Amino acid sequence: MTEYLQSLPDGWTIYVWLVAAAFILIAAGYFMWWAAKNEQFDEDIKYVVFDEKDKNKMSPEEFSKSQEVMKHQIQRREENLAKKDK
């Protein structure tokens, strides 16, 4: 194997790096697509950690947004569980 690698012309390693880089870019693109498809980029996810006890720590707008996000999350969970059961 060593003899074979030494017999290759100079500059062959750049092609190995290009193939590795192409693979990384394709994998990153696939995982970005998967994340977007599966609602992983939801900016409102930060509101899921709040509940009724946090009402006095939040502004009325934030609290209503929190409640709205929780309802939406529960609805999406029920939809996904229904899909899984089918």
**In the chain, what are the helix, strand and coil shares in percent, each to the nearest 5?**
80, 0, 20
Distance CA 4, CA 20 (A): 21
pTM as predicted = 0.60
pLDDT at 48: 80
pLDDT at 86: 79
pLDDT at 43: 81
pLDDT-derived band at 84 (thresholds 50, 70, 90) equals confident
